Amino acid sequence: MPDSPRPTISRFFVVQAARWAVLGLIPCLALAQPPTPATAEIEYAYPSESVWTTRRDAQGEPDNPLLRLAAVLFRKAGVPWHGKGYPAARMFENLRNGTAEFSMLVKAPVLQDCCLVSKLPVASTELRIYSGANAAPVKSREGLVGKRVITILGYSYGGLLKFIEDQKNGVINNVAQTHEAAFAMLERGRADYLIDYTGPSTEVLAVRPNKRLAFEVFERLDVYLVLSKKRPDAVPLMARLEAVAETLNKPEILWTTVHPSRAETPQ
């Protein structure tokens, strides 16, 4: 008597049922996977004393044009952010320990170990040495030796202040509280030279022009994106920010008169 085919048919249905069950589980397993985490909010730490402008916003803070650039940069990169100003020493310490994760700064040795720095600058300014009516032009630190100089409270001038304050160089440092006060001191002959940045100095002189004052560029300062290495996604995030930065019309963003919100979440 021939064998019955029923066991073979039964095995067929068992295998098919198992396949259907597995296929039915695949969407469920996919849904059960944890979602890709959203990009964590980032703090943009910037110096509380602006090298860019004398203008103040409604909160009395410097009208920092880099905040405008940050607003566009982070929105297009899809990164939630907020900005906070710090005294320079604390800002660098926060970048070193990861309390703050982002800034836009001039390249500095203190950043090499703690932070990634973008390949290309996103902005630039000049540090100028203004000379009084009877003083010869100076464009190097050596030219300041033995001279009377005006500096503005809160600025380190990228290390130039240390040279000025070093007693062996014989520089007499007159510290002004504001940019306006500094130029008034220079006009009255209180010193031979004034150290200031392009933005604040041109704003002051636009209001009170003085054709007798000349300047030499001491140093051009390029500003780069700076990202803390302590952030887990530092490498891919820097690549994303650099890619977005290359697409932006940065001069137009930086020098518009509209001030952005200090915190912005991507739409």
Q: What are phi and psi of 46, to 5 degrees?
A: -135, 155
Convert the pLDDT of each residue in 58-72 to its tens digit.
777 777 899 999 999
**Domain co-membership, 234 together with 178:** no
**Domain co-membership, 230 together with 109:** yes
In a domain? residue 28: no
> Can you tell me the distance from the alpha carbon of 62 to that of 60, in angstroms, rounded to the nearest whole number?
7
**Domain co-membership, 72 together with 120:** yes
In a domain? residue 186: yes
pLDDT at 152: 95
- Whichever domain contains 228, its CATH number is 3.40.190.10
> Can you tell me the distance from the alpha carbon of 173 to that of 193, in angstroms, rounded to the nearest whole number?
10
pLDDT at 109: 84
In a domain? residue 32: no
Q: Which domain holds residue 157?
A: 125-220
**Domain co-membership, 79 together with 208:** no
pLDDT at 239: 97
pLDDT at 18: 44
pLDDT at 146: 96
In a domain? residue 24: no
> Is a pLDDT exceeding 80 seen at residue 137?
yes
In a domain? residue 35: no
Per-position b or e across 73-100, b if 16+ CB within 10 A of its CB: bbbbbebebebebbeeeebbbbbbeeeb
Number of domains in the chain: 2
Convert the pLDDT of each residue in 144-175 to its tens digit.
999 999 999 988 887 899 999 999 999 999 99
**Domain co-membership, 47 together with 164:** no
Sole residue written with tokens 């703090």: 43
